[in-house]
Amino acid sequence: MWQPMSSLMIVSLRVAALVSIVVYAGLSGVVTADDTVLSTPQKLTVKHCVDFKVNGNGDAKAWENAEWISLTRRPNGKHDYTARFKMLYSAKGVYVLFAGSDQTLTATMQEDFLHLWNEDVFECFFWTDEKHPVYFEYEISPLGYELPILVPNLDGRFLGWRPWDYEGDRKIQKSVSATGGENTSMCIVTAWRAEVFIPYDLLKPLRNVPPESGTRWRANFYRVDYDDKKVTGWDWARVGASFHDFKKFGTLEFE
């Protein structure tokens, strides 16, 4: 059963140069996790690349060196769609390419930093240092709107903090595309993709950033779809009711 989301709050913190917003409690109750599925810890070796420009299609030659990784549908999901991702890293940041089949782009929000998780969305979480319960979360809608936040998670209590001075070298590069239709609200399609570049400058001052050969991060990748007023979630590493169950994240090892 769906649990109410917390309301949006903005708190200025000049010293930390961040603005906070309350983040949802994952997708609590949207789907019930099954601990018997994906019981083997997920691991992925992330290959190095030369920087390139994202265009939403994922057709840069660098992607040929990265394998597609499938997300697994979470229990009680209603849609038999595919969901997968690729990942690379460079000297300046990390690249993520999401792709999934679909029928309708159930997305109406027309701004960044909104509650994108309440509509069709892809998400990735990067926990760069296990010594500290702080991780980066990124969400992108099929319309190309985004939600980048830093999340301190202290004993299950967590808030999301918006980036300050979010421009220039700290700005995420992002683009989306669709097959069988356009990237417009409620458009009929057969699939959609999102391609993002997350610069290390945005992740400061998280530790283990930038990663080097042999560096390990914990991470997870998700998709949620809301077609026909039915909700389906997918994950890479199986978590509990909340997508913020960070201790169950998979492991990335940088080549």
Q: Domain of 125: which CATH number? A: 2.60.40.1190
Instruction: Find out whether 215 and 200 touch, Cβ atoms under 8 Å.
Output: no
And the tokens for 252?
Answer: 């990335």
Total tally of structural domains belonging to the chain:
1
249 in any annotated domain: yes
134 in any annotated domain: yes
Burial (Cβ within 10 Å: 0-12, 13-18, ≥19) of residue 39 = exposed
pLDDT of residue 40: 82
173 in any annotated domain: yes
And the tokens for 161?
Answer: 């903090």
149 in any annotated domain: yes
Quick one: which of 250, 253, 13 has its CA closest to 125? 250
Confidence grade of residue 222 (pLDDT, cut at 50, 70, 90): very high
89 in any annotated domain: yes
Does the pLDDT of residue 30 top 90, yes or no? no
What pTM value is reported for the model?
Answer: 0.87
24 in any annotated domain: yes
The residue range of the domain holding 212 is: 11-31+44-254
5 in any annotated domain: no
And the tokens for 73?
Answer: 């549908």
Span 63-78, average pLDDT: 97
Instruction: Find out whether 53 and 96 touch, Cβ atoms under 8 Å.
Output: no
194 in any annotated domain: yes
Amino acid at 176: V
How far apart, in whole angstroms, are the C-alpha atoms of residue 246 and residue 242?
9
pLDDT tens readout for residues 127-172: 999 999 999 999 999 999 999 999 999 998 999 999 999 999 999 9
Instruction: Find out whether 156 and 130 touch, Cβ atoms under 8 Å.
Output: no
How far apart, in whole angstroms, are the C-alpha atoms of residue 134 and residue 137?
10
